[in-house]
Amino acid sequence: MKIGITGGIGSGKTFICQLFKALAVPVYNADDEAKKLMNTDLRIRESLIATFGEATYKDGMLDRAFLAQQIFSDKEKLDLVNGIVHPIVIQAAKDWAEQQKARYSLKEAALLFESGSYKDLDYTILVTAPLSVRVQRVMERDGVTEEQVMERISKQLTDEEKIKMADFIIINDGITPLLPQVWSLHQKFLK
């Protein structure tokens, strides 16, 4: 079984994935893999250079600051980058999932619903947390301002929109115990 796990920035989806990993569940982190592929996949490299110019790569590596500056407040350019990167990352995730021997595997992706890749999965899990908690977590983690966090959040679907598409929800509000929620889903997926 292939299961997707997503949540807005600061929801704690990566931490939840660590709990599943502790239960010997293989986890594919689409965001980490996308970063790797942006440096190693020739199709991505050539498309990004064709779109944004030679400055996109410096010393053979993606210049993240340059690319971020290009797409920061331009949704059209962000959509262009996603259109280049997402199909290749989605295919890499499919290839990875096919090689797994466990009863089920997880695909962790921030833009699981936005990219449409959830359609290739058996189930989806949404990790939720109150907006104030998410903002605080990201500010502490990334050393950014509340405005910068809200800018990132504005580029993602709302939890309300994601809840309509999710099969299961894990509440990560810092109050509700996580282990029983993860264990319950784990048992369900093993059956």
Helix (H, G, I), strand (E, B) or coil at 52: helix
84 and 127 housed in the same domain? no
- Give the domain extent around 72: 32-99
47 and 120 housed in the same domain? no
188 and 122 housed in the same domain? yes
pLDDT tens digits along 80-108: 999 999 999 999 999 999 999 999 999 99
C-alpha closest to that of 129 among 14, 13, 5: 13
pLDDT tens digits along 58-81: 999 999 999 988 887 788 998 899
CB atoms within 10 A of CB 184: 12
Number of domains in the chain: 2
Per-residue pLDDT band for 152 (boundaries 50, 70, 90) equals: confident
All residues at 6 or more sequence positions from 142 whose CB lies less than 8 Å from its CB, including other chains: 148, 149
11 and 86 housed in the same domain? no
C-alpha closest to that of 38 among 97, 90, 93, 84: 84
Residues 41-50: what's their mean pLDDT?
96
42 and 55 housed in the same domain? yes
- What CATH code is carried by the domain that includes residue 124? 3.40.50.300
Interatomic CA distance for residues 116 and 87, integer angstroms: 10
21 and 112 housed in the same domain? yes
